[in-house]
């Protein structure tokens, strides 16, 4: 396949970025089709996404993916079981995620919120999730997008890094601005948001690292960092 560049369409085109990443990156087995990698067995099934979203705060997914089966083996597969679990027991089960004491309390707090304030088959409001202690924009949007199929783009650190390096936005861009940019350029489709976010994460881990492998990057011809050497 002939190499394409962002400049063939628009250096500021979010859709061009999506197409180039989709063409250049192989399917990611860890995030099949852009969907959260569920192991199953949780009731409701979105509980697994809630747990994973909290556990990945300030740590890598690789440090979390083995914890979820461990929680399942401990019988913590329903909101009631998670909420009623002694904090010390929950801490022991998530220790390898880092900040385990803080995260254990956050998990119990979120479980209590769903039990007390969200009806079965109801989607929580973003503002209600954000009102919970230690639930920030990225965690709330991850829960809504991957757990409840609500189109909320997850403008995480990888997404903002990509915007900065491409020169689409400056280094001061924050979460809300990046989220608005992505959502204003894309159709409001859950599958598209999931697929794009998963591609950005894959690209950031494999190529657009802290020390990027620019010579391997399909976006380099439209990337200000590559073109300017800065």
Collapse the DSSP code of 56 into the 3-class scheme (helix H, G, I; strand E, B; otherwise coil) and give the result. Answer: coil
Residues 60-82: tens digit of each pLDDT = 888 898 999 999 999 999 999 99
Query: In terms of Cα–Cα distance, which of 34, 28, 16 is closest to 192?
Result: 34
pLDDT band per the 50, 70, 90 thresholds, residue 7: very low
Percent over 70 (pLDDT), the chain = 95
Q: What would the mean pLDDT of 117-144 be, rounded to a whole number?
A: 97
- Range list of H helices, the chain: 14-24, 46-55, 67-73, 79-84, 87-94, 100-117, 126-130, 137-142, 148, 157-166, 175-185, 190-206, 224-228
The matching CATH number, chosen from 3.40.50.300, 1.10.340.30, 2.30.30.40, 3.30.70.360, for 34-148 is: 1.10.340.30
6-31+155-228 against 34-148: fold identical = no
pTM: 0.92
CA angle 116, 102, 157 (to 5 degrees): 95
CA angle 57, 139, 178 (to 5 degrees): 105
Residues 168-201: tens digit of each pLDDT = 888 889 999 999 999 999 999 999 999 999 999 9
Q: What residue has token string 């639930």?
A: 135
Q: Sketch the domain layout of the chain as residue ranges.
A: 6-31+155-228, 34-148
**Which class in CATH covers the domain with range 6-31+155-228?**
mainly alpha
Tell me how far apart the alpha carbons of residues 192 and 18 are, in angstroms, rounded to a whole number: 9
* Cα distance from N-terminal residue to C-terminal residue, the chain: 29
Collapse the DSSP code of 78 into the 3-class scheme (helix H, G, I; strand E, B; otherwise coil) and give the result. Answer: strand
Q: How many CB atoms lie within 10 A of CB 112?
A: 15
Cα-only R_g, the chain: 19
């Amino acid at each position: 396949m002939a190499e394409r560049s962002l400049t063939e369409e628009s250096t500021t085109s979010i859709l061009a970025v999506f197409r180039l990443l989709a063409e250049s990156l192989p399917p990611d087995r860890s995030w099949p089709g852009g969907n959260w990698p569920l192991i199953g067995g949780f009731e409701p099934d979105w509980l697994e996404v809630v747990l994973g979203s909290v556990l990945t705060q300030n740590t890598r997914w690789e440090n979390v993916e083995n914890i979820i089966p461990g929680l399942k083996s401990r019988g913590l597969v329903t909101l009631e079981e998670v909420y009623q679990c002694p904090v010390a027991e929950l801490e022991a089960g998530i220790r390898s995620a880092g900040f385990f004491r803080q995260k254990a309390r956050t998990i119990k707090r979120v479980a209590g919120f769903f039990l007390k304030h969200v009806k079965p088959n109801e989607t929580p409001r973003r503002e209600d999730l954000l009102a919970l202690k230690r639930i920030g924009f990225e965690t709330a949007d991850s829960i809504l997008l991957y757990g409840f199929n609500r189109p909320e783009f997850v403008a995480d650190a990888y997404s903002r890094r990509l915007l900065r390096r491409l020169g689409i936005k400056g280094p001061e861009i924050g979460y809300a601005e990046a989220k608005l940019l992505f959502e204003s350029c894309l159709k409001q489709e859950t599958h598209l948001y999931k697929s794009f976010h998963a591609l950005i994460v894959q690209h950031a881990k494999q190529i657009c690292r802290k020390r990027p492998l620019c010579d391997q990057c399909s976006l380099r011809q439209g990337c200000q960092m590559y073109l300017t050497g800065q």
